[in-house]
Amino acid sequence: MKKETFIVEGLHCASCVSRVEEKLKSLKGVKSANVNLASGTALVEYDENLINPSEMKSSVDSLGYIFKIIKTKSVVVKVGGLHCASCVAKLENSLKTHKGILEANVNLATNKAFITFDGSIIDERKIKDIISSTGYEPLDYIDVDAEKIELAKKKNNFIFSAIFSLPLLIITMADHFNIFRFFENDKLYALIQLILATPVLFFGREFYINGIKTLIKSKTSTMDTLVALGTGTAYLYSFYETIVIFTDGHAMASHLYYETSAVLITFILLGRYLEAIAKGKTSSAIKKLIKLLPSTAIVIKNGKEVEVSINELAVGDLIVVKSGQRIPVDGVVVEGYSSVDESMITGESIPVEKKMGDSVIGGTLNTTGSIVFKASSVGSNTMLSQIIRLVEEAQGSKAPIQKLVDKISAIFVPTVFVIALISFAIWKLSGFDTYVSAKAFISVLIIACPCSLGLATPTAIIVGTGLGAERGILFKNAEILEKLSHVNMIVLDKTGTLTYGRPEVIDINTFNCDEKDFLRYLASIERLSSHPLADSILRKYNSNDYYEVVDFVN
C-alpha cells in the first residue's frame, strides 16, 4: 500500500468533498481517501498493483473537478527558538501560506516541524529559508551529547539567576514588609539592587533577543515578547528611578522594581529548564528504538570480514551476524543456521529459526548460531526505520483538541497585551499611582504564560505514542489516541495475539514424581542450554540448588 497526496481544484463545500471521497473509495485498489477542503488536497492510500494515479485523475475529472498529480515529499525539520503555543501557531501559519506546502504540523514538545510539500514547486532549502524568515532557526538533528549540553546550559542559567535574584528578593521584601532594612542610604540601596538585577537579565537574554527578533522579522509577538516587555519595563523604569535618586534624590529606593524583573526571569528560566527535562523524557521511546540497531556491522569484502559503520551498508552487501549480536539491516539469509528473537516486531515470544532463504529484520537479536545474509533494505527503508518514522509522524500529528488550542494561541499574545494595557488604565483611573498601575501591567503580561497551553496536548501525545511503541503498539496519528478514551471493548483477531514477549511455564506433568525434585533435575540440565525454552524452565524453578550434570551436549 502507498500513501500519496494529490491536489483537487474546484472544491467549494462539504458536498464537493463527499463526492470526491466517495468516487475515489469506489475505485478498485483504493483503501482510503481523505479530502481536505481547506487545503484542496486528497490523501489517498492505494495498492500500486491495482490502480495508478492517472486512473484516479480520470475518475475525479469526470465529476467536474481537476485532479492534479504532484510530486509529494515529506520532511521533518528540527526547529530552534520555539517556546510557546503562539510560536507554533505563527510558524505553521507562515509555512502554510507559501505555495507548494500542502501540510505543516509543528510540535512544541519535540521542537520539530512535519511538512508535506510539492517537490516540483518548493524544496527543503526554501522551506528552511521560510522558517528562518519567520524568526526561528532550522537545525540539523542534534545528538544526545548536544541535547545534554543544551539542558546543562538551561540549568546553569537558572542557577546563576537564582544566586543573584534570591538575595535581591530577601533585601527588598524585608524592607517592603517593614521587617528590616539592610541599607538606610537610598543611593546605596538602589545601587545594590541594580548590581544584583543586571546579571539576571544577562542570563535571561534569550527572551529579549528572541522577542525583538520576532517583532522585527515577522511583525508578530510571542511569549518571549511578553516576558521581554514585562521584565524590561520593570527594569528600565527602576533604572530611570535610580538615576533620579542619584541626581536630585526625589525618588525612593523602596519604589524600585528590580526584584520583580529578576525574580520573574528566574522563575521562567526554571520553567524552561523543567520543560527541557520533560521534552527529553518524551522522546525516550524513539531513542530506545534507535538503540536497537548496532552502530557497526561485519561485512564480507574480497573474502575478508571487515567491520564498517551501519551508515556505509548498501543493498547487496554480505553481512555476518554472530550469536548474541543484533541484525543491522533487513535481508535474506544465504549461509548458516540460527534462531532469531523477533519479539520486538512480531510480539512472538519464541525465537524463529532461520536458514538459507529466510528473511531477517534489522534490530532483531540473533540468539544462537552464526549467519551470513544479503542486505535487501538499508537506511530509512528498513522495517525498524519505518516503525520509527510511523511513531514520529504519530507524535507530530495533532489531535482534534489541539486544533482548538492552535486557534486560541493565534490570538493569545495580542489579547494578553491588550488586557495588560486595560489593567494599567483601570488602576490608574481608579486613583492608584504609576507604581501600582505598572505592577498590574507587568503582572498580566508575565502570569499569562501560554507554555502549558502549547505543551500539554503534544506532551501527552508523545508520552502515549512512545509508551505504546515500547510495548509494541503503534498509533497512526494523535486522533486515534483521543478516540481511544471512548473505547470500551477491544476485539483481537486470534488467540495468542497478546503475549509477555517470552515463553512461560503454565503447567507441569511430573509423571507421579515429586514436582520440586522433578524441576530440580530438569533445571539442572536446562541451565546449560541456550534454547529459549530453557530460560522459562529456570524462571519456574527459581532456585540455585542444582544437580551436577556431566557429558552435556547442547
Residue 129: CATH number of its domain? 3.30.70.100
Total domains, the chain: 6
Same domain, 149 and 284: yes
pLDDT above 70: percentage of residues in the chain: 82
Catalytic residue positions?
493
Domain boundary among 390, 407, 425: 390
Q: Is the pLDDT of residue 389 over 80?
A: no
* pLDDT average, residue stretch 397-408: 67
Same domain, 483 and 499: no
* pLDDT average, residue stretch 338-347: 80
Same domain, 155 and 283: yes
Same domain, 238 and 277: yes
Exposure pattern of 533-546 as b/e (b: 16+ CB <10 Å)?
ebbbbbeebeeeeb
Can you read off the three cell numbers belonging to residue 347?
510480539
CA angle, residues 263, 267, 268, in degrees to nearest 5: 120
- Give kind and range of the element (H or E) at residue 31: strand 30-36
Q: What is the DSSP letter of 255?
A: G
CA atoms within 13 A on the CB side of 255: 16
Same domain, 545 and 476: no
Give 114: exposed, middle or buried? Use CB within 10 Å, 0-12, 13-18, 19+.
buried
User: Can you list the alpha helix ranges (DSSP code H) found in 97-204?
Assistant: 124-133, 144-176, 186-203
Same domain, 91 and 202: no
CA angle, residues 385, 308, 293, in degrees to nearest 5: 30
Same domain, 267 and 315: no
How confident is the model over 256-278, as pLDDT tens digits?
788 888 888 888 888 778 767 76
CA distance 249 to 446: 31
Same domain, 95 and 165: no
Domain boundary among 472, 487, 502: 487
Can you read off the three cell numbers belonging to residue 30?
483504493
- Give kind and range of the element (H or E) at residue 230: helix 223-247
Residue written as grid cell 535581591: 168
CA angle, residues 485, 487, 492, in degrees to nearest 5: 130
Closest by CA position to 87, among listed 262, 236, 272, 233: 272
pLDDT at 142: 47
CA angle, residues 369, 373, 374, in degrees to nearest 5: 175
Same domain, 280 and 370: no
Q: Is the pLDDT of residue 217 over 50?
A: yes
Domain range for 17: 2-69
Residue pair 320/300 in contact (Cβ under 8 Å)? The answer is yes
Instruction: pLDDT band for 318, please (50, 70, 90 cuts).
Output: very high
Same domain, 84 and 11: no
Q: Is the pLDDT of residue 86 over 80?
A: no
pTM metric for this prediction: 0.55
Residue pair 201/161 in contact (Cβ under 8 Å)? The answer is no
pLDDT at 132: 87
pLDDT at 357: 92
Residue written as grid cell 486560541: 408
Same domain, 55 and 129: no
Domain boundary among 292, 311, 332: 292
Same domain, 33 and 64: yes
Closest by CA position to 206, among listed 193, 230, 225: 225
